[in-house]
Chains A and B, each alone.
Chain A
Amino acid sequence: MSETRGSSRWVALAVIAVFVGGTFALLAGSGFDVVRAAGALVRGAAGSWYAIGSGTLVRSTPLILTGLAVALAFRAGVFNIGAEGQFLVGAAAGTAVALGLGAAPGWISIPALLAGGALAGAAWAWIAAVLRNRYQVLEVISTIMLNFVAAYLVSYLVRGPMQEPTHVYPQTSTIAAAAQLPRFGSTTRLHLGFAIAVAACAVAWWFVRSTAAGFRLRVVGANPSAAAVAGEIDVQRVTTRAFLVSGALAGLAGAVEVSGVTFALYENISPGYGYTAIAVALLARLDAAGVIATGVLFGALEAGANAMQRDAGVPSVAVSVIEASIILVLVALERARFVRRGESAT
Chain B
Amino acid sequence: MSGATAAFVEATVRSATPLALAALGEVVVEAAGVINIGLEGVILAGAFGALVGAGHGGIAGGFAAAIAAGVGVAAVFAVFAVWLRADQIISGTAVTLLAVGLTGTLYRSLYGAAGAALSIPTIGPWRVPGLASIPVVGSGFFNQPAVTYVVYLLAPAIWWWMYRTHAGLALRAVGEAPAAAEAAGVKVGRVRVWAILFGGVAGGLAGATLVLAQAGTFAENMSAGRGFIAIAIVVLGRWRPMGTALAALLFGAASAFQFLLQALGLALPYQLFLSLPYVLTLLALAGVAGRVRAPAALARADLP
Contacts and interface: CB of A to CB of B under 8 A. Distances in A.
B94 interface: yes
Given A140-B89, A144-B228, A345-B289, A320 B100 contact: yes
Interface string B256-296: 00000000000001011011001101100111011011100
Contact of A26 (B37, B80, B105, B275): B105
Interface string B208-230: 00000000000010001100110
A315 interface: yes
B177 interface: no
Given A145-B278, A149-B278, A278-B93, A131 B105 contact: no
B110 interface: yes
A135 B302 CA distance: 25
A9 interface: no
Contacts of A140: 37, 89, 93
Given A335-B85, A340-B302, A141 B281 contact: yes
Given A137-B282, A149-B275, A332-B80, A338 B105 contact: no
Contacts of B286: 131, 134-135, 137
B274 A152 contact: yes
Instruction: Specify which of A148, A275, A319 lies most central, judged by the most chain B CB atoms within 10 Å of its CB.
Output: A148
A317 B279 contact: no
A153 interface: yes
A325 B289 contact: no
A275 B97 contact: yes
A317 B94 contact: no
Interface in B226-258: 228-229, 231-232, 235
B97 A336 contact: no
Instruction: Specify which of B275, B290, B292 lies most central, judged by the most chain A CB atoms within 10 Å of its CB.
Output: B275
Contacts of B97: 275, 278-279, 320, 323-324, 327
A318 B109 CA distance: 11
Interface in A129-169: 131, 134-138, 140-142, 144-146, 148-149, 152-153, 155-156, 159-160
Given A135-B289, A152-B272, A324-B94, 13 more contacts: A30-B110, A137-B285, A138-B285, A144-B225, A315-B105, A319-B101, A320-B101, A328-B76, A328-B98, A332-B91, A335-B86, A338-B301, A345-B290
A89 interface: no
A136 B289 contact: yes
Nearest to B302: A339
A278 B285 contact: no
B102 interface: yes
A136 B298 CA distance: 14
Contacts of A336: 302
Interface residues on A, range: 35 or more
A172 to B, nearest CB: 16
Main secondary structure of the interface of A (DSSP, over half): helix
24 contacts: A30-B109, A135-B285, A136-B290, A142-B282, A144-B228, A145-B232, A146-B278, A146-B282, A153-B271, A159-B269, A160-B269, A315-B104, A315-B108, A315-B113, A317-B220, A318-B104, A321-B98, A323-B101, A324-B101, A327-B97, A331-B87, A340-B300, A340-B302, A346-B289
A32 interface: yes
B35 interface: yes
A118 B204 CA distance: 39
B84 A332 contact: yes
Interface in A30-60: 30-32
A340 B301 contact: yes
B95 interface: yes
B90 interface: yes
Nearest to B273: A152
Interface string B73-84: 000100010001
B106 interface: yes
A156 B80 CA distance: 39
Nearest to B76: A328
A207 interface: no
Contacts of A144: 225, 228
A332 B218 CA distance: 32
A142 to B, nearest CB: 6
Contacts of B113: 313, 315
Contacts of A142: 282, 285
B299 interface: yes
Interface in A182-225: none
Q: Which 10 A-B pairs have the closest CB atoms?
A: A320-B101, A30-B109, A324-B98, A317-B104, A321-B101, A327-B94, A324-B97, A156-B271, A338-B87, A152-B271
A55 B298 CA distance: 43
A282 B109 contact: no
Nearest to B88: A340
A81 interface: yes
